[in-house]
Chain A
Amino acid sequence: MTAQTEAELGLETETMTVREAIRQALREELERDEDVYVMGEDVGLFGGVLEVTSGLLEEFGEERIRDTPISEAGFMGAATGAAATGTRPVVELMFSDFAGVSMEQIMNQMAKMRYMFGGKADMPVTVRTTEGGGMGAASQHSGTVHSWIAHFPGLKAVVPGTPASAKGLTKAAIRSNDPVFVFENKMIYEQSGEVPTDEEFTVPLGEAAVEREGEDVTVVATQRLVGESLGAAETLEGEVSVEVIDPRSLYPLDVDTIVESVEKTGRLVVADESPLSYGTHAEIVARVQEDAFFSLDAPIQRVGTPDTHIPFSPHLEEEVLPGDDDVRAAIQRIA
C-alpha cells in the first residue's frame, strides 16, 4: 500500500505544533479509554520539563497524571507489570539517555515477557521520550538512541517528524497492545503544521509518508531531518528533483514505500540523527539492497551523527549535528 501524507487523506485539520499535537493525542486517548494513564517524572504539577503534558493534571487529576519518584528502573518496571495485568500506562522518560538507567526492565521484562510466557501477556505500554541535540544540553541529555530500541526484539519504535505524525503515531502507540517507544526530537516541538482533528485519526505503525515527490534522488529522513531534508530539496529545486520519505515507524518499517521510491529514482540518501555505525541507517540500507539492489545507480549515502557524543559548546554541537547542508551535500554527491 502506498502511504500518503495526512493532507492527502482529506481530513479536517488545524494548525498546531508538535508539542500541542502530542498533548492533544494524550488528551484524546485519556478521554477515550479509562485504562489509559500517564506517569513519569514531573508530568503532573510541573507539566513535563519540556511542557508536553502541561495542563493535563488539572483536566484529569492525580490518578491519571501520575508524578513518579526519580526512579526510571522502578517506574519502567511498574509500567511493565501494570501493562501485563491489563491497564495501559503511558510513560514519559524525560530524556532518552535515561533509558540506560532503566534498561533492565525495558530489555529483559517489557520486551521479553510476552514471548517468554508463550504469548500469555499483552504489553500495552507506551514510552514517550525525547531525543536529539541542539539545546546545549550536552551528551547526557541529547542522545538519539532509537536504534537500540528498534534493534531489540519485542519492542516497537516510532519517530515522528511532523505534527500530524506526532499525533497519529502517539495515538496508535497508546492503542497498541505491544510496547511502543515514541521518540520525540525536542528540536521540533515548536514546529507547526496541519494536524487532523478527527479523534479517530491515527498513523498505523509501519506506514511511511511520502512528504515530497521527486524523480532523481530518494531521501529517507526521520524526525528533525524530515524538515531539514525538505529544505534541502527546496534549495535544489530545478537542479535535482528530490523525493522525501518519512518512514515514521522504524520497527515495523515500511520497506515497500521506500523501495518503490528507490525503484523510481535509483538513488538513496538516508538521514537520521543517530550515530552512523551499526544503526538505523544501516538497517534501511540493508533492506533496500535486499529488495532493490539492481535499481540502484549510485552508492547509498548516509547522513547522521559521526559516531560522537553530543558536545556542550554550541560551536561543537553545530559541528556534529546533521542538518540541511549535510543532506544537500549527500544528494549532490550522487545526483
Chain B
Amino acid sequence: MADFDLDSADGRREALRRMVTIRAFDEEAGERFADGEIPGFVHLYIGEEAVGVGTCASLEPDDYIASTHRGHGHCIAKGLDPKYMMAELYGKAEGYCNGKGGSMHIADVDEGMLGANGIVGAGPPLATGAALTIDYRDRDQVAVGFLGDGAVAQGQIHEAINLAATWDLPAIFVVENNRYGEGTPVEKQHNVDNLSDTAQAYDIPGVTVDGMDVTAVAEAVAEARERARAGDGPTLVEAQTYRYRGHYEGDEEPYRDESEIERWKDRDAIESFRDRLIERGELTDDEFADLRSAVESTIDDAVEYAKAADPPEPSAAYEDMFADRPPELDRFAATARPDGGANGGDRR
C-alpha cells in the first residue's frame, strides 16, 4: 500500500513527517499572509492533519483525490512538493498552477490531485467523475472526495454520492467534520448526530472515526478502498476533527471561545501520534527534534524558493484557457495589452 504504510515503522515515521510538514507549511503560510506577502485568501488545515495523512496512507500513489478550500494538507499528504505549493501561494510562474490557482486551487492532475476547490461541496462530484474513468477503464485505482461538514448540506454532494452509489463506482467520500461550517457550528447545520448517518440514504456504509487519530482514519479508508476495488461502491467516512485556526486567516472567530480550542489541542493529532511512536520505541525525542528541524528547513527553503521565483509573464494571463486556442484570445488579449491590438478600427 501507498508510498508510506502505517503497518511499517518507516511508514509511521513518514506519516508523522507529513503531518509535521503540513502544520509547518500552514503556520508559515499564515505568517506570510499576515505579513502581506501572500495575496488572496488563505484557509489553514492546522489541527486536521491526521485526516489528510491518514487517508492518503491508505491510498496508492496513482489514486485520485479532490479537495476543499482547506487543501494544503491534502496536497502534502498526497506527496506534492511544498516548494511549488508555496510558489503557487505567492502567485509565481513556478507554482503548481503557474500562479493562476493560488491557495484555493492547487492542483496536479498527474499526481492524482484534482484540485483544492473554492466552491464548498464541488470536489466530490469531480471525484465521482474520476471514479467513473477508473471504472470505465477498469483500472486498479480509487478516487477520494474530501468535503467539510458544511458541504454535507449541499445538494451536489447528495447527487455525487448517489450517482457513485448507484453505479458502484470506486469512490470514497471523506467528511472532515471540523465542527464549523465557516462560522456556524455543525449542530446548527445538520439534524443528524453523526454526519455518516447520511450514508443510509444511499445504502452504503457510513462510518465515524476519530479524526485526531491518523491510524483510525487510515483503517477506515483502507477498508473503504478494499470495498471500492471489489466493485461494491463507495463508503462515507466521517472523521471528527477540529480546526485550530479560523475559517480563513483574519477570521476574528466570534463564534467560539478559546477554551474549546484548548480542549481539542489536548488531543492534538501530531503530539499523540508522536508519543505513541516514542512509547513503541520507534522514535526518540532526538529523532523527533531532527525530523522537525528537517521539516522546518524544507519549509524555509520553500519560502525562499517562492520568493525568488519569477512572477508569470503578463501574457500568461491569456494562456491555458483551451487545448485549442480560439482566435478570440488573440483578438481581445491584444487589445488588453499596452501595445494595443489589430482591432478597434476598420480593416480597410
Residues of A within 8 A of B (CB): 35, 37, 63, 66, 68-69, 71, 73-87, 89, 104-105, 108-109, 113-123, 153-154, 156, 176-178, 205-206, 251-253, 255, 259, 263, 290-295
Contact call B133/A87, Cβ cutoff below 8 A: yes
A313→B321 CA distance, assembly (Å): 43
Please indicate the chain A residues that have their CB under 8 angstroms from the CB of B79 in the complex.
none
Tell me which of A66, A115, A290 contacts B344 (CB under 8 A). Answer: A290
Please indicate the chain A residues that have their CB under 8 angstroms from the CB of B158 in the complex.
74
Known: A81-B130, A87-B133. A74 touches B321 (CB 8 A): no
Most buried by B among A35, A74, A114, A153: A74
Contact call A73/B136, Cβ cutoff below 8 A: no
Q: How many residues of B contact A (CB 8 A)?
A: 58
A131 to chain B, nearest CB (A): 22
B190 to chain A, nearest CB (A): 20
Fill in one digit per residue for B310-348: 1 if any A CB lies within 8 Å of its CB, else 0: 000000000111111011100000000000000111111
B189 close to A (CB within 8 Å): no
Work out how many contacts link A and B, with CB atoms closer than 8 A: 184
Contact call A81/B324, Cβ cutoff below 8 A: no
Please indicate the chain A residues that have their CB under 8 angstroms from the CB of B108 in the complex.
117, 120
Contact call A117/B328, Cβ cutoff below 8 A: no
Residues of B within 8 A of A (CB): 64, 66, 95-101, 105, 107-110, 114-115, 117-119, 122, 124-134, 136-137, 143, 155-156, 158-160, 162-163, 166-167, 319-324, 326-328, 343-348
Tell me which of A79, A118, A263 contacts B320 (CB under 8 A). Answer: A118
Known: A77-B128, A252-B327. A108 touches B119 (CB 8 A): yes
Known: A81-B114, A121-B107. A252 touches B328 (CB 8 A): yes
A46 to chain B, nearest CB (A): 17
Please indicate the chain B residues that have their CB under 8 angstroms from the CB of A153 in the complex.
321
Known: A71-B163, A292-B347. A116 touches B128 (CB 8 A): no
Contact call B326/A206, Cβ cutoff below 8 A: yes
Contact call B323/A176, Cβ cutoff below 8 A: yes
Contact call B160/A120, Cβ cutoff below 8 A: no
Known: A71-B159, A82-B133, A252-B326. A295 touches B346 (CB 8 A): yes
A301 to chain B, nearest CB (A): 20
Contact call A116/B105, Cβ cutoff below 8 A: yes
A71→B346 CA distance, assembly (Å): 48
Please indicate the chain A residues that have their CB under 8 angstroms from the CB of B96 in the complex.
117-118, 120
Please indicate the chain B residues that have their CB under 8 angstroms from the CB of A66 in the complex.
167
